[in-house]
Amino acid sequence: MSALAWTAAGSLAAWCWLLLCQGFFWRTDQRLPPRRRDPEHWPAVVVVVPARDEAEVLPLSLPSLLGQEYPGRAEVVLVDDNSTDGTAAEARAIAARCGGLPLTVTTPGEPEPGWTGKLWALRHGMALAEERGPEFLLLTDADIAHDPDSLRELVASAVCGAAGRAGHMSAPHLSGAHMSTEHMSGAPMSDAHMSDAPTSSASMSAPHTSSGPVSDAHMSGVPMSDAHVSDASTDPSGPGAAPGDPDPGSGAVTGTGTTPVGTPGFDAVSLMARLRVAGGWERLVIPAFVYFFAQLYPFRRVNSPASRTAAAAGGCVLLRTDAARRAGVPASIRQAVIDDVTLARAVSDTGGRIWLGLADRVHSVRPYPRLRDLWRMVSRSAYTQLRHSPVLLAGTVAGLLLVYVVPPVALVAGLVSGDAAAAWAGGLAWAVMSGTFLPVLRYYGLSPLTAPALPFTAVLYLLMTVDSAIRHHRGRGAAWKGRTYARPEAAPGRR
């Protein structure tokens, strides 16, 4: 056989392995199941929303949080991360107009050295939430809209256990050491999420009582008046730690409660929000993003007690406060740019049980109308995913070319040159590739006829990743909304 035929055969072998041996990543059946029963006790929840210059999207997302139909006690804390567009004022106006769950608007000041902006905002919001004594925290991005029953279904699944729609029940995840598949050849390296805030997780335990009770005015479903919109602005050092915190500056959630051993459910339940696919570039790039993310972190492996893969999806993470306390979150991950996957590892490495799936009730309202918007979103952290390693970058480029580019090239070149072996191998590899992309296209309601365009989209992601590396080597690092982050080892204040 010719060199082209052997190369095409190698690509076909890679696709056969991906199809059968990479956790069935291409399936979309990992969803929250229909609720079969209610928890005996609906735990208290505080929703923490980091927001930086989000005044434009808040009218589309914040009312959905305030309007949650949750049977237990719930409230919302929006952390205005030093916005310049009136984000805090817009949030207060929405709360006064819409009513619903109580809303607190607060600001942490500029981040201290060694913290990313999002995690600094989460530190402040989680510390403030701890004063309310919740059993769960819902960490959700400012651009994420929720169906009215979203919180109820998340909590029920976390307390009672979650299962995929195919009937797969994920047992408690008790593995101590976790290893990700983030550097697998053939999958583009990009940010672990397409929105701006970290993620979290969830599970069941006895009621958390380390803090005093919240008044009836803060009960879920109580109509909101202007008095329910409070401010908790502080100096840049953030709020004081809860009683018993050994390190007031750590930002870790504190308290006295612990999760009983053998408790059912999960410490973290994360949903990959359904992203917007209104424009042409969004329809081309975003389904592929979900596909590539699942290829790196197969949801079934994340949800399996026998696997060491740990991941979460940014935008919607229900996190048990006890699990956050054990993992030292967010202080233990304060420098993470890809914060959602890092958070999942921190929870899992401390014995937490995690679950990850696709969302049916949660969706992003953030538009990416132009290619440059999507390009900037991916390139800001793609090289971080590769640990700023030129070797890993070179391996990723080679893997992408072999797995995604060789099949169509071999098919066309083989047909033109009369190399039947190359044409057959390339055509079969392209067919397998396109077939594995179909479930994600169906999930987004897009035409299956676009599946063969996946190689073109993969090349776009390859170029975004290379651009990310060039930006880092030019000293521009990971940049987002006016902030640029150095490599973790170069950041001051690292311990």
- Say which residues have a Cβ less than 8 Å from residue 167's Cβ, sequence separation at least 6: none
What is the Cα–Cα distance from 203 to 156, expressed in whole angstroms? 9
Tell me, what's the pLDDT at 288?
Answer: 97
What is the Cα–Cα distance from 357 to 294, expressed in whole angstroms? 10
Instruction: Quickly state the pLDDT bin for 432 (edges 50, 70, 90).
Output: very high
Locate 398 and state its tokens: 């080679």
Tell me, what's the pLDDT at 285?
Answer: 97
Tens digit of each residue's pLDDT (9 = 90 or more) over 379-404: 888 888 888 899 999 999 999 999 99
Rounded to an integer, the average pLDDT of 456-477 is 90
Tell me, what's the pLDDT at 491?
Answer: 40
What is the Cα–Cα distance from 418 to 412, expressed in whole angstroms? 10
Instruction: Quickly state the pLDDT bin for 312 (edges 50, 70, 90).
Output: very high
Instruction: Quickly state the pLDDT bin for 251 (edges 50, 70, 90).
Output: very low
Output the 3-class SS for 342-383.
Answer: HHHHHHHHCCCCEEEEEEEEEEECCCCCCHHHHHHHHHCCHH
Beta-sheet strands, E only, within 245-373: 268-274, 316-320, 354-364
ω into residue 39 within 30 of 0, thus cis? no
Instruction: Quickly state the pLDDT bin for 255 (edges 50, 70, 90).
Output: very low
CB 323 within 8 A of CB 352: yes
CA atoms within 13 A on the CB side of 63: 9
Tell me, what's the pLDDT at 421?
Answer: 97
Tens digit of each residue's pLDDT (9 = 90 or more) over 42-60: 999 999 999 999 999 999 9
Burial code (b: 16+ CB inside 10 Å, e: under 16) for 106-127 equals: bbbeebbebbbbbbbbbbbbbb
Instruction: Quickly state the pLDDT bin for 314 (edges 50, 70, 90).
Output: confident
Tell me, what's the pLDDT at 338?
Answer: 87
Statement: residue 95 has pLDDT above 50: yes
Distances (CA, A) of 31 to 101, 164, 268, 293, 351: 26, 5, 14, 16, 23
What is the Cα–Cα distance from 167 to 377, expressed in whole angstroms? 35
Instruction: Quickly state the pLDDT bin for 169 (edges 50, 70, 90).
Output: very low
Cite the DSSP H helix spans in 22-102.
Answer: 58-66, 87-98
| Confidence (pTM) | 0.80
Rounded to an integer, the average pLDDT of 432-438 is 98
Q: Which residue has the tokens 């994360």?
A: 270
More confident residue, 79 or 175: 79
CB 54 within 8 A of CB 83: yes
Chain-centroid distance, C-alpha 79:
18
3-state secondary structure of 483: strand
Report the percentage of the chain scoring pLDDT > 90.
Answer: 66
Distances (CA, A) of 76 to 6, 64, 104, 310, 449: 58, 11, 6, 28, 42
Mean pLDDT of the chain: 81
Burial code (b: 16+ CB inside 10 Å, e: under 16) for 261-282 equals: eebebbbbbbbbbbbbbebebb
Cα dihedral 419, 424, 429, 431, rounded to 10, equals 130
Tell me, what's the pLDDT at 294?
Answer: 97
Tens digit of each residue's pLDDT (9 = 90 or more) over 331-367: 999 988 889 999 999 999 999 999 999 999 999 999 9
- Lowest mean pLDDT segment, chosen from 85-94, 117-126, 219-228: 219-228
Instruction: Quickly state the pLDDT bin for 91 (edges 50, 70, 90).
Output: very high
CB-count burial class (<10 Å; 0-12, 13-18, 19+) for 49:
buried
Statement: residue 373 has pLDDT above 80: yes
Tell me, what's the pLDDT at 298?
Answer: 97
- Lowest mean pLDDT segment, chosen from 171-185, 424-438, 458-472: 171-185
CA atoms within 13 A on the CB side of 458: 29
What is the Cα–Cα distance from 354 to 302, expressed in whole angstroms? 7
Burial code (b: 16+ CB inside 10 Å, e: under 16) for 174-185 equals: ebeebebbbbbe
Tell me, what's the pLDDT at 231?
Answer: 52
Tell me, what's the pLDDT at 487?
Answer: 54
Angle, vertex CA 430, rays to CA 426 and CA 431, nearest 5: 115
Q: Measuring CA to CA, which residue among 455, 204, 459 is closest to residue 322?
A: 204
Q: Which residue has the tokens 């070797």?
A: 391
CB-count burial class (<10 Å; 0-12, 13-18, 19+) for 74:
buried
Instruction: Quickly state the pLDDT bin for 178 (edges 50, 70, 90).
Output: very low
Chain-centroid distance, C-alpha 238:
25
- Lowest mean pLDDT segment, chosen from 171-185, 347-361, 422-436: 171-185
What is the Cα–Cα distance from 141 to 314, expressed in whole angstroms? 8
Statement: residue 423 has pLDDT above 90: yes
Statement: residue 247 has pLDDT above 90: no
| Strand pairing class (45-51; 144-146) | unpaired
Rounded to an integer, the average pLDDT of 109-122 is 90
Tell me, what's the pLDDT at 483?
Answer: 57
